Structure 1
Amino acid sequence: MNLLDQLRAMTVVVADTGDIESIARYKPRDTTTNPSLLYKAAQMPQYKRIVESAVEFARSVDGDRKAKLEACMDKLAVGFGKEILQIVPGRVSTEVDARLSFDEEATVAKARGLIALYAEEGIGPDRILIKIASTWEGIRAAERLEKEGIHCNLTLLFSYPQAVACAEAGVTLISPFVGRILDWHLKDRGVKSIPAAEDPGVESVQRIYRYFKAHGYKTEVMGASFRNIGEIVELAGCDLLTISPDLLKALQEADGPLVRKLSPDAVADADPKPDAPLDEKSFRWMLNEDPMATEKLSGGIRNFAADIVSLEKLVSELLEQVAVA
């Protein structure tokens, strides 16, 4: 058996892409999207109809140009999500605008709006994960949404305190970023590579996984943002792993035995549970003391926000064309 088939026997494989053709090819259970992936997909001719449908929807919305643009962006995200859900049997993650990462109320409102749009398409909340950045405000918003039955995927997660806060908030799933942690440490150490078994991103996910399982948290751990298949191999057995099409292909073409590295039965070295839940002051201080997590979280939010602006520009031009016509 190839590595991908073996991995599927111990971990839920998720496709990290907005390319529907790639999703159909690798048949993951779930799929994740983000503004970067949607921006790329929206420019592909085979998905023109999804973009045009979103533009047509926006025309019917009452309000000014800003309101129509926002409606178009939300409908576009849901349009791709709906298309994906016709292929995968599980869930799709749809991301909240990264510019709302420090606004709890706006994040809650946006999530409710996306779920309502999915409902209009006949898709229930059990098949949707709302992706929210793992800021303090984002985690608090997710806690509220989970109580309403809206399931969340906390993304841009680079540190242990972020993960602990998410588990205590009862979120459905977290996406700790492996490759971006590696990127930072490669630059910081001035080296070109780090063995997968010593990869700081891998070690971070392993620590989080063991803590969650040892203390009975229901929050699922989904490793994300991989740079090579070695990182994936070291996390075999994790609840879920979201993997790009290129690395899915590499796993499919690689043979050899795959050893399970993570198991809920092997958590003897897990961190002890603190006496009290993590409060805002402690969270912010612990994050501040981790320069990698602080830089990667803020940089990730900026990058996703920039991709949203690029996508908005593309969509805005189409709306302008329709208006002129």
Structure 2
Amino acid sequence: MDTIELGNVTVSRVREYYGPLGLAPRAFVPESSESVWAEESAWLRPEFVNGEPPVANAALQTWVLRSEGRTILVDTGGGNHKARPGMPWDRLETDFLGNLARAGVRPEDVDLVVNTHLHADHVGWNTRLDGEDWVPTFPNATYLIHRDDFDFWNPANGHASVLGDGNAQAFADSVAPVHEAGRTLLWEGADHRIDANLTLNLAAGHTPGSSVLTLASGTDRAVFVGDLLHSPVQILEPDANSCFCEDAVQARAARRRVLGWAADHNGLVVPAHFGGHGAAEVVREDGGFALKGWAPFTSYTPGDEV
């Protein structure tokens, strides 16, 4: 099952890529303890860690929400034909649009695209190649981007990043074309209401404009956290940042705040990159958090077709 109902919102998982990230677990989450990877190995393998020596796995996937008659995409993965030197999704050639179609969504059906932040693996399908030009993949959609992220990643502003030039191409091929086409809405401040069920909330730290999408419909709650979580070990050790966070202090605070909300509201935590079942419920435990259970999405592990 790759579709669930949360109140009046339908949530579908559409896969693009799944495989090794090319980083050892503690290179991926350098602030995590050695012991957590060893003690939790029985359930971290093979979905989140695999091989010897161990390597962290990552999924690229888009969450499709249908709410109040509109079709909304949360993050758009890596995209095809995009130069991403040194990354596993360099010049991908996947059937993502076919997978999207099998979920009942044509590009022209999409009303909103939420980019939780502007890293290359979250904006790739914002655009597609048309001849030699990058054009909006979803021609009728409004692309929601926090202005702080747009300004930070705009090369004209000259901001330095912990990624060095590792995100250099993403703005040019996946963000600027939709902005120039007049398809972006650069929201500002702490919150942006989408509809009665969905709200965007600023959760800066991973990037200056990182946001989470909060779902509250009927008695159901969920939060689509983007890259606040790269690995489930960050649920167990919420102060452990990944190697990709721009502001370590803000990232820790945002992670604790969002996980606390999910635990207190019995909300499903839906990260961008989890393999396995893709999302989980959490509870408070010993000043931190623990896994309560996995979402009912179909699990996928190394070797599964994407």
The structure with the largest strand share of the pair is 2
Q: TM-score, normalised by structure 2?
A: 0.31
The structure with the largest helix share of the pair is 1
Q: TM-score, normalised by structure 1?
A: 0.30
Larger radius of gyration: 1
